[in-house]
Structure 1
Amino acid sequence: MGDKLITGIVYCKIEESYGPKPYFHFPSELNEEIRTSACIKSVTLLTAEKGHVPDSLVFIPFPSLKLKAIIKFIEWEDETKRGNVGLSTVVLLFREFNDVIFYKYVKNLESIFNELEKDVKRFEKAKQDISNLSISFVSFYEKILAVLEELKRREVEAKELEPFPHIHHDDFSPEDYILKLIVLGDPGVGKTSIVLKYTDNAFNRIYIPTIGVNISEKKLIFKDSRITLSIWDIGGQSKFDLFRRNYYQGADVFALVFDLTNKKSFDNLLNWYNDIKRYLRKNNNLFGFIIGNKSDLTNLESVEQKDISRLTKDLGLEYFQTSALTGENIEKVFRSISTKFLAKAP
């Protein structure tokens, strides 16, 4: 599991004469490019904050390496340093595909990072040999993996059938339905967050990296019918254009997602709609929804309701406003999808 979830750990220090420098890394075979990139980017981020050291964990991407990382910034008193302060970073690297796992469970990892921070401060203040610190980092690595393994076990063992409220299990027919939902929209609008909020599946996903697709399943009982909801969260980057259209095939329903704080993502919805209709025009039973996400950021909204109403009316699509952060209307969206699907089902 470690090889799949965690790429490596790098401990970086800011030296006045050398700049950012990787002092320790694990595992030992972690290549130099990754180690150097981890240090330069994490320290640059700290420099951009003009010396302010964030208390919380920070996520940063490494697109060229297809990695992401959680950063813990550490400072301690050191009279030999400029400003009497020593600065370092702990960089936990993982593959891009696994980011939803770490986003979902980052709170479960905070205490382990805090334990390591205490060890690092003791080490740096005492100016001990680096071998003493290596023991702490290996222990940190093992604790992170143990927590993730336990979280995975809980998720996998969770009940497969999660009915909507007020559904009785005793009265459903043996009829099974498979509903394919494709979720589309510009990068960064919160498609993956919406799917994760509903399915609660950080580990139980299938990823197809060549086209940037996350596939999740949700089994549920709704209106006396068993439904397997297959959700295809399709990457919005232009590099996936040629592949994406093949995965529209067989869709029963589509959801077009935009960011309420990003006007461009709303303006692009018509392009996404036309793309679907171009390749699925023979599917007469296809239906869809528009989702305006990030409703929790009300003070930052840049899309006017009159424009949303006009577009939904022109396209004949139902509209929902959601927040993947708070969960607002997430359940309602998927309930409506199931209701409409069953109404069209033979």
Structure 2
Amino acid sequence: MEDAHDNTFLDVTEFQKIFGHDPGKDKYLLKLAVVGYPGTGKSSFIKKFCDQVFPTEHIPSINTEITSEVIRVSSSVIIEVFLYEVAGQTQYIDLKKLFVSGIQGVIIMFGHHYPYTFEKVPYLVSFIDKYLMTKVPKLLVGNYFEGHENIIPWQQAADLAKRLDIDFVQIDVKRHPRNVDKCIGYFISKLMPEVNI
């Protein structure tokens, strides 16, 4: 997994994912938005992280969907990660509503095989900056689709991320699920430095 200009990615794969809440534990909440245009793999990204599965058929999201997963970081610390998936269809992209929910970080996805989704990244970053009340970490995630013609090279995406002053990673959601976990680990390291990982 490569990034443009920061090496703060943590691997949360080894953290034990649990359901529910154990009394006596320090519990942290992490709210992340996953945005991007259709066909970028947002739903697959979330499914891989929360359910460890890759969907076999594509069903477009038509609204904002919220999914959560609880991670046991240590014997006394757990983090509940909420992922807010914003529908990719243009008519449903309404980030204004989303950002009243206390979002702490944003994953901006594009498909390396789909130039239109890459070209829209500056617009999404600008829109996010406009409507968020506070500055939050943003991570540009390029989803590499094996078997497709991946038109956007890594360096081009890394250069764009540098211009936008955000970090960048290239992942393959289907074949390398550990990289999905590392994206979540990135936000834990940025937003929860007090959590001893």
Q: Above 0.5 in TM-score?
A: yes
Match of 1:246 in 2: 97
Match of 1:188 in 2: 39
The separation in 2 between residues aligned to 1:251 and 1:344, in whole angstroms, is 19
5 Å matches for 1:286-325?
A: 286-297=136-147, 300-325=149-174
The Cα shift of 1:295 comes to: 4.2
Q: Secondary structure at the match of 1:300?
A: coil
Which of residues 89, 93, 109 is equivalent to 1:237?
89
The Cα shift of 1:166 comes to: 6.3
Match of 1:257 in 2: 109
The separation in 1 between residues aligned to 2:192 and 2:111, in whole angstroms, is 29
Q: Does 1:178 align with 2:29?
A: yes
Q: Does 1:276 align with 2:128?
A: yes
The Cα shift of 1:201 comes to: 7.7
Partner deviation per Cα, 1:293-338 (whole Å, 9 max, x = no partner): 13424x6110022221211112222212112211341122112222
The separation in 1 between residues aligned to 2:73 and 2:189, in whole angstroms, is 8
5 Å matches for 1:56-75?
A: none
The separation in 2 between residues aligned to 1:334 and 1:311, in whole angstroms, is 21
Instruction: Tell me, yes or no, if the aligned pair for 2:63 and 2:92 is still in contact at 8 Å.
Output: yes
The separation in 2 between residues aligned to 1:312 and 1:248, in whole angstroms, is 22
The separation in 2 between residues aligned to 1:244 and 1:315, in whole angstroms, is 19
Which is greater in Rg? 1
Compare relative contact order (CA 8 Å, sep 6+) and give the higher one, 1 or 2. Answer: 2
Instruction: Tell me, yes or no, if the aligned pair for 2:15 and 2:73 is still in contact at 8 Å.
Output: no
The separation in 1 between residues aligned to 2:39 and 2:145, in whole angstroms, is 14
Q: Secondary structure at the match of 2:193?
A: helix
Instruction: Tell me, yes or no, if the aligned pair for 2:137 and 2:187 is still in contact at 8 Å.
Output: no
Q: Read off the aligned partner of 1:336 and give its amino acid letter.
A: Y
Instruction: Tell me, yes or no, if the aligned pair for 2:37 and 2:90 is still in contact at 8 Å.
Output: no
Q: Read off the aligned partner of 1:263 and give its amino acid letter.
A: P
Partner deviation per Cα, 1:260-296 (whole Å, 9 max, x = no partner): 101111110111111110000x313x11101111342
The Cα shift of 1:217 comes to: 0.3
Match of 2:8 in 1: none
Distance 1:201 1:233, change over 3 A: farther
The separation in 1 between residues aligned to 2:142 and 2:125, in whole angstroms, is 15
Partner deviation per Cα, 1:150-192 (whole Å, 9 max, x = no partner): xxxxxxxxxxxxx74167x9xxx83221111000000111100
The separation in 1 between residues aligned to 2:168 and 2:110, in whole angstroms, is 11
The separation in 2 between residues aligned to 1:316 and 1:343, in whole angstroms, is 21
Match of 1:330 in 2: 180
Aligned residues: 169
The separation in 1 between residues aligned to 2:145 and 2:109, in whole angstroms, is 12
Partner deviation per Cα, 1:62-115 (whole Å, 9 max, x = no partner): xxxxxxxxxxxxxxxxxxxxxxxxxxxxxxxxxxxxxxxxxxxxxxxxxxxxxx
Q: Read off the aligned partner of 1:247 and give its amino acid letter.
A: L
Q: Return structure 1 stretches of 4+ with deviation > 6 angstroms.
A: none
- CA-atom RMSD in angstroms: 2.7
The separation in 2 between residues aligned to 1:211 and 1:303, in whole angstroms, is 27
Structure having the higher helix fraction is: 1
Q: Read off the aligned partner of 1:292 and give its amino acid letter.
A: G
